[in-house]
Amino acid sequence: MTQQDSGRDRLGRRAKRFLSPSQKYELWLQLVTGELSQSEAAERFGIGRSTVMRIRQVAKQGALEALAASKPGVRQAREDAEWHCCTCRD
């Protein structure tokens, strides 16, 4: 395999590249801060532009769902197992 062929499958297509969640977060963060454009991010991370767009879409949807689930000023009721153990002995 020559230097020119590296990163390609036997049919000449770009080999699949799987990014870890932390790499996806780093990519997204660089896009949000304007550090990289979509095409620059695709080149730097060795993925296609459509993959960059998909990462942005998934991150946005996840953020919207998390924000929708959170209620400002309201804490979720959690039972403290240690507290109940101490009060049950009385």
What pLDDT is stored for residue 73 in this prediction? 75
State the burial class of residue 80 (Cβ atoms within 10 Å of its Cβ: 0-12, 13-18, 19+). exposed
> What pLDDT score does 17 carry?
81
Render 29-58 in DSSP notation, one character per residue: HHHHTTSS-HHHHHHHHT--HHHHHHHHHH
Q: What are the pLDDT digits (tens) for 21-72? A: 999 999 999 999 999 999 999 999 999 999 999 999 999 999 999 999 988 7
Contact 17, 8 (CB under 8 A): no
Predicted pLDDT of residue 44: 95
pLDDT surpassing 90 at residue 15? no
Per-residue confidence (pLDDT) for residue 11, from 0 to 100: 78
Q: What is the pTM of this model?
A: 0.63
